[in-house]
Amino acid sequence: MRKGHSLELKPIGIIHSPYKNTGKAPYQGHKSEKISRIEVFSEFEEGLQDIEGFSHIIVIYWFHESQGYHLLVKTPWDDVPHGLFATRSPHRPCPLGLTVVELMARQKNILKVKGLDATDGTPLLDIKPYIPGVNQRSAAKPGWFKGKLRQGTC
């Protein structure tokens, strides 16, 4: 985007989760068995047609409770500071969240999902289907996470 242009994000829904604040939310939701509800605003409900055929979806949301950021951050998995863009910290210049969740059920404009790490009231920006042959990368490298993923903390 060029200088002087603006960007407007329009939420398409809201996330209802068991996590009432950031201190209660897991660092990564994929190990959580807790169920969250994604409410897609009624004007966008038709766009959910056929979503039930997917076992997993990609949820993109706004970290609305994020305040400030640092370009070097320490993570729960390492004491060494890493560049912000080499981490999944929610504290970012543009605080977008992205999580792959398991789609448990759809009831009209409500999606019940497992594995979401967003707090209650988080604005929903988009939903995309997770497609194994498209999204999965067999040759992906974990970067500085190498060796830390086996510890069961991610």
Answer whether 72's CB lies under 8 Å from 92's CB. Answer: no
The single-letter code of the amino acid at 79 is D
Give the residue-averaged pLDDT of 80-105. 90
Tokens of 11: 């939420």
Does residue 2 have a pLDDT over 80?
no
Q: Residue 131: is its pLDDT beyond 50? A: yes
Is 70 exceeded by the pLDDT of residue 36? yes
Q: Is the pLDDT of residue 37 over 80?
A: yes
CA distances from residue 25 to 36, 41, 115 in whole angstroms, order as listed: 12, 24, 11
d(CA 23, CA 106): 28
All structural domains of the chain = 13-131 (2.40.30.70)
Q: How far apart are CA 102 and CA 85, in angstroms?
A: 25
Distance CA 117, CA 102 (A): 12
In the structure, what pLDDT confidence band is assigned to residue 153 with cuts at 50, 70 and 90?
very low
The tens digit of pLDDT for each residue in 11-28 reads 999 999 987 755 555 555
